[in-house]
Structure 1
Amino acid sequence: MITITERAEKQINTIIKEEGYDQSHFLRVSVESGGCSGLSYKLDFDNQEKPGDQFFEDKGIRIALDIKSFLYLAGTELDYTDGLNGKGFNFHNPNASRTCACGESFSV
């Protein structure tokens, strides 16, 4: 399961409203090969379910993960910051044994 903070919820709802997404859209969270630590995080909005998708809901946000990503991201918390050190979504992943300085990639 992936959880989201209140700050992330607010930003996701802002994006949904600004982009005009409807109720059929959900947040797709995934892991891809790449990045300086070997794996990188990816966020998208989607409205097409794929075979093997795992769905969760937190704070009214529907979240989809493919099975491979689920194995890497189980227990992860998605946060959002807009402070002086940078603006964007951050992943607090308990499965990551190492992360890069920017927080966009990790290894297990």
Structure 2
Amino acid sequence: MTEVAVNYKTGSEKLIKVLDGASAHLRGLLEKQGRADGALRIAVIGGGCSGLQYKMDLVDGPRDRDILVPSNGVQVVIDPKSALFVSGSELDYSDDLQQGGFKVSNPNAVVTCSCGESFAA
């Protein structure tokens, strides 16, 4: 079986920067799944109370046309369309009982909702 090369670009932390809390939690999740070399896929999809929302999944690596961003010891992959919406963002993690989880601080969001998972750009 021949391995097909994946055509992706490498981006910088100007696109998205992973902060310490998110990096540590993400490394732990990837190791639990046996994907130490894996990545976090962040996508922006329609929906949520403000019109757009983040979708996050653990993946083995980038797909064609993705942008791979190495940051703080982990890798984030983003499709080109989603990259337009997240440029300049920071990813953090909170273990707060009510509002815990991965949080994106996005300078492009002109409207955000109280749940913190939806925005408008």
Confirm or deny a common fold (TM above 0.5): yes
Structure-2 residue corresponding to 1:11: 25
**TM-score, reference length from structure 1:** 0.92
Q: Please, what is the CA RMSD of the aligned residues?
A: 1.3
* Structure whose alpha-carbon radius of gyration is higher: 2
Tell me the secondary structure at the aligned position of residue 25 of structure 2: helix
Q: Distance in 2 between matches of 1:47 and 1:5?
A: 21
C-alpha spacing 1:55/1:31, structure 2 compared with 1 (3 Å): same
1:57 counterpart = 2:70: yes
User: Deviation digits for residues 11-45 of structure 1, max 9, x if unmatched?
Assistant: 1011112222142x211111000000000001111
Structure 1 stretch displaced more, 80-89 or 56-65: 80-89
Q: Residue 79 of structure 1: which of 50, 69, 92 is its match?
A: 92
Once the 2 structures are TM-superposed, how far is the Cα of residue 50 of structure 1 from its aligned partner? 2.4
Once the 2 structures are TM-superposed, how far is the Cα of residue 48 of structure 1 from its aligned partner? 4.9
Once the 2 structures are TM-superposed, how far is the Cα of residue 85 of structure 1 from its aligned partner? 4.1
Map 1:1-108 onto structure 2 (within 5 A): 1-23=15-37, 25-108=38-121
Q: Distance in 1 between matches of 2:32 and 2:97?
A: 24
- Unpaired segments ≥5 residues, structure 2: 1-14
Tell me the secondary structure at the aligned position of residue 9 of structure 1: helix
Q: Distance in 2 between matches of 1:49 and 1:17?
A: 18
Tell me the secondary structure at the aligned position of residue 83 of structure 1: coil
Q: Distance in 1 between matches of 2:92 and 2:81?
A: 21
* Count of equivalent residues: 107
Identity across the alignment (%): 38
Q: Distance in 2 between matches of 1:63 and 1:82?
A: 20
**TM-score, reference length from structure 2:** 0.82
Once the 2 structures are TM-superposed, how far is the Cα of residue 84 of structure 1 from its aligned partner? 4.7
CA contact (8 A) 2:68 2:76 kept: yes
Q: Distance in 2 between matches of 1:48 and 1:81?
A: 24
- Unpaired segments ≥5 residues, structure 1: none
